[in-house]
Structure 1
Amino acid sequence: MAVEQTISRAGWDELVVVDRSDPEPLHTQLARGLRQAIVDGRVPVGDRLPASRALAAELECSRWVVTEAYAQLAAEGWIEGRTGSATRVRNAGAGGASQPRSAPRQAPVAVRFDLAPGLPDLRAFPRRRWLDAVRVELATLPFDDLRELDPAGDPRLRRAVSAHLGRVRGAVVTADDVLVLPGVRAGVHLVATALRASGAGVIAVEDPGWPRLRDAIRAAGLEPLPVPVDADGLRVDLLPRDGSVRAVVTAPAHQYPTGTVLPPARRAQLVSWAQSVDGVVVEDDYDSEFRYDRRPYGVLQALAPEHGVLLGSVSKTLAPALATGWLVARGEWRARIASALASPIGPGLIDQLALASFVESGQYDRHLRSARLRFRRRRDALLAALAVALPEAEISGSAAGLHLLLRLPGGADPVAVVAAGARRGLRLSAAAPTAVRARSYDACLILGYGNLADAAVGEAVRTLVESVREAAEGAGDPRKARR
């Protein structure tokens, strides 16, 4: 049965209903509900929205859910927020009865430059080759194969994934170890569900880390335990060793959002921890295909296959909309996790077969090689432009993945910079919502460059500088961000 939570505020009607059993992301539900409340006139133009922390506390979700919803509405032109003042409704839309006659209707600002993390180059999606693969698979598929789908995923795709992971990532895996899922979040939810069935109450997670994974853990009925990250990644020495925690979710190949890579000594320490507590390391291998200064480390799972769960997807290599990922587990953990999978939850059969064909034919490897070269050039161009335009900003992160961590110069609030950028058609993300306890990231932005056109790097950075300057001036800081 759906579990519903309402967001209310003194003097307001019920604004929106968020259904945690709905597969649609919470921030999308929240943005849609608030947008409709504005259009309906239940939240008039000029009215204040709750502070992100207050609304997150009332909704019992991460602050990231609220800030993402607010950022989306700001980018569309529905709300605006400035440093030192509340976030307010600026546009009631076509159906808004509360729109003052004197206030002209403002059209949403289209996204011109996408610096938000988490996306590959969507313009480079291999449409023709993918369409060819779909056509061939659909034309040659036996009729009986359309009857039903194996909950673990199509055997052909599982064989293709296992061969790819063994050859490219050094994983210890057979086709029987692979489960086909919609993506990494679904994998974390499945692992958490299996752990809850065995009596576990918590899973350790990186702090800072991807908020949606914490949400997936909570949705399964467990609590995420934040463990700090430093310059070498997860602080393995801070993991409990008394058996109270037997699972940890980590991204050793490229930590989000810090961009650190877990070094060999700490990898060995993490494996030793898992063996000592008879636990499992849930490895998020989300963008490991992109390393620009050296060959990437192989997967951690290979060091102790019986104590590792490996998660991956094509969301960072092809497109998130394909909703195709995998989970690799062996032995006891494979059995536990498979028992929590009552029915197929992965993509449809045709998409699974198209991806299998794409991998088997070598098209996937060729696509990755091309993408790796493109992202390396784009990252270099972005770093060069930032060094000139924002010399006071501190930039960190290994030469890998699809994002950088940028610490803003004094006087600029990242939330205000995100809002100022949205008014200019620049999509940005603040780092603060990724942290539970770590406050040192409150002054940081996460800059993604995967979905940014090469020719737009210079103008995107200039727009970022303008947004930083506006935020600094709005805060009353006499020190202006310098070009």
Structure 2
Amino acid sequence: MLLSEGHLSVWEALVELDRTRPRVGEQLVGALREAITRGRLAPGTRLPSTRDLAADLGVSRGLVVGAYEQLAAEGRLVSRRGSGTVVAEVVTAVPRQRGAAAPRPAAVAPLRPGVPDLGAFPRTAWRRAYETALTSALDADFDYGDATGVPRLRAELAGYLGRVRAALVPPDGLIVTAGVTQGLALLARVLLARGARRIGLEDPGPVSLRDHLVRLGLDVVPVPVDADGVDVAVLGRTRVRAVLLTPAHQFPTGVVLAPRRRAEVIAWARRVDGLVIEDDYDAEYRYDRDPVACLQGLAPDRVALLGSVSKVLAPGLRLGWLAAPPDWLADLCAAKSDADNGGPALQQLAFAEFLAGGGYDRHLRRARRMHRERRDAVVAAVRRHLPRARVSGIAAGLHLVVELPPGVDDRALAERAAAAGLGPLALSGLRVREGGPGGLVLGYAAHTPHELATAVRALAALL
């Protein structure tokens, strides 16, 4: 298959370049990579010559040559003498040993919440940061280091969290973790050592998080969530001394903890000598509302802030952070040292370089625009194909809630959707307490607007 002359509109659709932003070459690589990953450029497709594509897109030939070379190095393109450049039949960046089994990872199901667009990972910018980190690393950086994280990354993170999330945390108050999961494990260990065996958790909330806390040895006490966030009056009656909250964008309802409730939560923590664990879930993504500062900045002595790059970059990086209250820090640092004696130094140095060079901010701006477009596509498709459904939680984050008409069994619908290759979650399956309307939690980060609209139409047909 040849895509060249007479197909200018095809390439304009496949490769969208914003010439008002720098690094057009990176945009070109990313657009071609996504087209290959999504199957819009099928294996065996012959690409135009570098000269023709440069003319079609109005860019220099050198940019196209560089893009082709980068994608060829990743194993996505193959240059053949006499036949030009074609999409590889089997896309793989790492040669496999002959006879070795290589199972293909399952693709992210459309409408599955909690997963970013893994194809949008900024490979070129990350590789540049990693190479800079490797080149500038000192010999001492390869030794056993501080278990709480590379000092440069903790300094960059402290600045970023203060600037973007209004956190109040010095670099030596941060612990670099292998994601939020490890941060929770460290907190659970210290809670148990201090005699706290019960923890409050928002209801509804993620089942995986609830199960994780139970496996860590804590008894989970559900605390209801309403339109203003967690019900602090109910929290006070539970007699727990620790609670895990998602104040910026509650999962799954999408509500933001109201200002009055924020003050009440902090007052509760001071009254019971307790700890608020703030999971800064989806905090970077907002579309129709002003940014909401983190709770930790209001009470750094009572709030432990958890965050990660899993929703902005990729879960597979296993990079996160824990901002600990001062009187918890020593115990948490000891727990981190016992857990792994420190994380991968080069990965942390690369992330520090990525933060310092503005790569994280640039990627986040692009991701916000992309996710807003995808959210709009899902909302429009729901209103078209499920006109009786009520949509909520759309102002921020990477998911929304579709409240179904009375009488619809959301769990049965979610099971049928899973059998059809879709990934929504049943709202009632995320509740501990009975009651409340049925609904579906739809994720929209990992697929294109067209794919999402198609998935919603298929979901509606299951009704």
Q: Same fold (TM over 0.5)?
A: yes
CA contact (8 A) 1:153 1:344 kept: no
RMSD: 2.1
1:270 pairs with 265, 285, 294, which one? 265
Distance 2:204 2:411 in 1: 17
1:363 is matched with 359
Distance 1:268 1:408 in 2: 33
2:188 is matched with 192
SS at match of 2:195: coil
Distance 2:319 2:341 in 1: 10
SS at match of 2:268: helix
2:420 is matched with 424
Distance 2:277 2:220 in 1: 13
2:302 is matched with 307
1:180 pairs with 158, 176, 185, which one? 176
SS at match of 1:115: coil
Cα gap change, 1:373/1:346 in structure 2, threshold over 3 Å: closer, same or farther? farther
CA contact (8 A) 2:250 2:281 kept: no
1:101 is matched with none
SS at match of 1:350: helix
User: How far did residue 134 of structure 1 move?
Assistant: 1.6
1:100 is matched with none
CA contact (8 A) 1:207 1:438 kept: no
Distance 1:123 1:279 in 2: 41
The answer as to 2:116 corresponding to 1:134 is no
Distance 1:439 1:465 in 2: 24
CA contact (8 A) 2:175 2:323 kept: yes
Q: Map of 1:18-417 to 2, 5 A cutoff?
A: 114-240=110-236, 244-341=239-336, 342-344=338-340, 347-417=343-413
User: How far did residue 450 of structure 1 move?
Assistant: 0.8
What code does the residue aligned with 1:120 have?
A: P
User: How far did residue 415 of structure 1 move?
Assistant: 3.0
Cα gap change, 1:346/1:380 in structure 2, threshold over 3 Å: closer, same or farther? farther
Q: Any stretches of 5+ residues in structure 2 without a counterpart?
A: 1-103
Cα gap change, 1:438/1:338 in structure 2, threshold over 3 Å: closer, same or farther? farther
> What's the CA shift string for 1:439-482, capped at 9, x where partnerless?
325x2211000112123222111111122x2xxxxxxxxxxxxx
Q: Tell me which moved more, 454-463 or 356-365.
A: 454-463
Q: Any stretches of 5+ residues in structure 1 without a counterpart?
A: 1-107, 470-483
Distance 2:289 2:341 in 1: 36
Distance 1:170 1:286 in 2: 15
CA contact (8 A) 1:111 1:425 kept: no
Distance 1:188 1:240 in 2: 22
1:446 is matched with 441
Q: Tell me which moved more, 174-183 or 339-348.
A: 339-348
Aligned length: 359
SS at match of 1:427: coil
SS at match of 2:436: helix
User: How far did residue 212 of structure 1 move?
Assistant: 2.5
CA contact (8 A) 1:247 1:280 kept: yes
> What's the CA shift string for 1:132-151, capped at 9, x where partnerless?
22222223322332121321
What code does the residue aligned with 2:379 have?
A: L
CA contact (8 A) 1:111 1:427 kept: no
CA contact (8 A) 1:241 1:273 kept: no
Distance 1:256 1:116 in 2: 13
> What's the CA shift string for 1:293-336, capped at 9, x where partnerless?
12211111111110010000001100111111100013102223
CA contact (8 A) 1:114 1:427 kept: yes
> What's the CA shift string for 1:56-110, capped at 9, x where partnerless?
xxxxxxxxxxxxxxxxxxxxxxxxxxxxxxxxxxxxxxxxxxxxxxxxxxxx9x7
Cα gap change, 1:186/1:432 in structure 2, threshold over 3 Å: closer, same or farther? farther
Give aligned-pair identity as a percent. 47
Q: Normalising to structure 2: TM-score of the pair?
A: 0.74
Distance 2:163 2:415 in 1: 44
CA contact (8 A) 1:429 1:446 kept: yes
The answer as to 2:427 corresponding to 1:461 is no
Distance 2:405 2:237 in 1: 40
